[in-house]
Amino acid sequence: MTALKLAVAGASGRMGRMLIEAIQNADDLTLAGALDTPASPALGIDAGAFLGKAANVVIESDLAKGLASAQLLIDFTRPEGTLKHLEYCAAHGIKMVIGTTGFDQAGKDAIAEAAKKTAILFAPNMSVGVNVTMKLLELAAKSFSHGYDIEIIEAHHRHKVDAPSGTALKMGEVIADALGRKLDDVAVYAREGVTGERDPSSIGFANIRGGDIVGDHTVLFAGIGERIEITHKSSSRVTYAHGSLRAARFLADKQTGLFDMQDVLGLK
């Protein structure tokens, strides 16, 4: 069996390092490239140096060099970085697993367009647990469609730059779809001052940032005389890294198309 050749963008980031370690530990995958920003102090250093285990791959900022031997790029960076990588990968037939969050609609459209030229898996959360939770939410939303107020509460580490989290937004979309509503029409992202009573059709979001919280998501269905809470908590980023590698293996035999973790896990 020939190992699938992967590159990692954001190689010195929190997720980049997790991914490099997971790839180093996988027999069927090879690290074939590592990218970081031109300003990164990690440029020119072996991508496995932080583990004390050489990967024989130097961290590059030049896409042509960093992606020269790669069949697939795993990208957990920022929307502007991912969109730059996307253009290059689509033009060169390099597949992508995209975990970056915080895209606007134009960014999401660009990903869908690029998936006509190469295979892409795009998901705001690669963990198996979160993706199974999405299915539970679909069922719960249908059962609690009347008389229950829906609020999504997420908590993340102090370094997170986007809010609500991509996962919380996806949860909101899944619930809104199940209820026949459009998230854009019913989402309430902030409350302050005299807000008036709660609109029963709304889906509220609350975001907590602090310390080293890896990622917690709770959906609250608040009725009269009872509350139901569906919660997922990540205790390590390793769950996102392992999900990403499953996603990469899933794409191995795909040439084009846009997929998500529900496809990988057979949850559609």
CA–CA separation, 230 and 208 (whole Å) = 17
Give the residue among 247, 265, 240 at the shortest CA–CA distance from 165: 240
Catalytically annotated residue among 5, 84, 92, 156: 156
Total residues at the site for ligand NDP (CB under 6 A)? 26
Does the footprint of ligand LZUJQKHR cover residue 124 (CB under 6 A)? Answer: yes
Give the residue among 230, 261, 232 at the shortest CA–CA distance from 141: 230
Which residue numbers belong to the known binding site for (S)-2,3,4,5-tetrahydrodipicolinate? 157, 166-167
Look up tokens 């995209």; give the residue.
98
Does the footprint of ligand LZUJQKHR cover residue 33 (CB under 6 A)? Answer: no
CA–CA separation, 147 and 118 (whole Å) = 45
CB of 98: closest distance to ligand NDP in angstroms? 8
Closer of 71 and 165 to ligand LZUJQKHR (Cβ): 165
Closer of 71 and 77 to ligand LZUJQKHR (Cβ): 77
Does the footprint of ligand NDP cover residue 63 (CB under 6 A)? Answer: no
CB of 167: closest distance to ligand LZUJQKHR in angstroms? 3
156 given a catalytic annotation? yes
- Of 81, 117, 230, 267, the one binding ligand NDP (CB under 6 A) is 81
160 given a catalytic annotation? yes
CB of 39: closest distance to ligand LZUJQKHR in angstroms? 21
Euclidean distance between the first and the last CA atom of the chain, given in angstroms as a whole number = 29
Binding range to ligand LZUJQKHR, per CB under 6 A, among 132-140, 163-171, 176-184, 255-263: 163-171
- Of 156, 181, 232, 242, the one binding ligand LZUJQKHR (CB under 6 A) is 156
- For the annotated catalytic residues, the residue numbers are 156, 160
